[in-house]
């Protein structure tokens, strides 16, 4: 209980809390999980102090439990995020983020010459790891989109 008094973002009764998001990735996560169109009650904070990250963001989504596929997409923009499942204000579970093997239609190809940037073609990438970072290889131009180049298109 020691810290509850000082919670920077109000606790939720039931739902999902995504914590330890790099502040710079907050809006990418919101796009990725399509929260702009959600009708659930959502609260978030950014530029909160964190020991692990310089500035972190947190999102609390009432009455929503993310699908495995959505959780895996978090590996693209917030691989260190922690996901807590809340019931009756208690953490009843944690979800591990595992990188997806393929990503369809969520990320823009970093190659400006790629057909997906000129024609209405849905992007498709296979995901691998390079030096601890994710690398997305485009099916069409075979160029790599690195983790820091990831731009969410949704
Ligand atoms: Zn491409």
Mean residue pLDDT of the chain comes to: 91
User: Taking the CB of residue 21, how many other CB atoms lie within 10 A of it?
Assistant: 27
SS3 104: strand
> Residue 21's pLDDT is what?
95
> Residue 73's pLDDT is what?
94
Distance between start and end Cα atoms, the chain: 39
d(CA 11, CA 136): 36
CA of 143 to the centre of ligand 1 (A): 6
d(CA 40, CA 63): 7
Higher pLDDT, residue 3 or 23: 23
Q: What is the CATH number of domain 102-149?
A: 2.30.30.20
Higher pLDDT, residue 121 or 4: 121
| Structure-block tokens of residue 24 | 């710079």
CA of 142 to the centre of ligand 1 (A): 6
Annotated binding-site residue? 138 = yes
CA of 136 to the centre of ligand 1 (A): 10
> Residue 9's pLDDT is what?
73
| pTM value > 0.75 | yes
Q: Please determine, for residue 1, whether its predicted confidence score (pLDDT) is greater than 90.
A: no
d(CA 103, CA 31): 15
pLDDT digits (tens, 9 = 90+) for 10-60: 789 999 999 999 999 999 999 999 999 999 999 999 999 888 777 899 999
- Phi, psi (deg, nearest 5) at residue 90: -110, 150
Sequence ranges of the domains in the chain: 15-95, 102-149
CA of 112 to the centre of ligand 1 (A): 8
CATH topology of domain 15-95: Alpha-Beta Plaits (3.30.70)
Confidence band, pLDDT 50/70/90 cuts, at residue 2? very low
Annotated binding-site residue? 114 = yes
């Amino acid at each position: 209980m020691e810290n509850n008094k000082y919670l920077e973002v109000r606790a939720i009764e039931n739902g999902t809390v995504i914590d330890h998001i790099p502040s710079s990735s907050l809006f990418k996560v919101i796009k990725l999980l399509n929260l702009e169109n959600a009708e659930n009650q959502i609260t978030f904070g950014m530029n909160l102090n964190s020991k692990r990250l310089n500035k972190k963001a947190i999102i609390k989504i009432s009455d929503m439990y993310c699908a495995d596929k959505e959780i895996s997409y978090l590996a693209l923009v917030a691989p260190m995020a922690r996901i807590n499942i809340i019931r009756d204000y208690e953490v009843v579970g944690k979800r591990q983020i595992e990188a997806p093997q393929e990503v369809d239609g969520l990320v823009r190809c970093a190659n400006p010459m790629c057909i997906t940037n000129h024609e209405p073609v849905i992007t498709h990438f296979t995901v691998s790891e390079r030096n601890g970072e994710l690398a997305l290889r485009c099916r069409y131009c075979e160029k790599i989109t690195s983790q820091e180049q990831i731009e969410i298109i949704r």
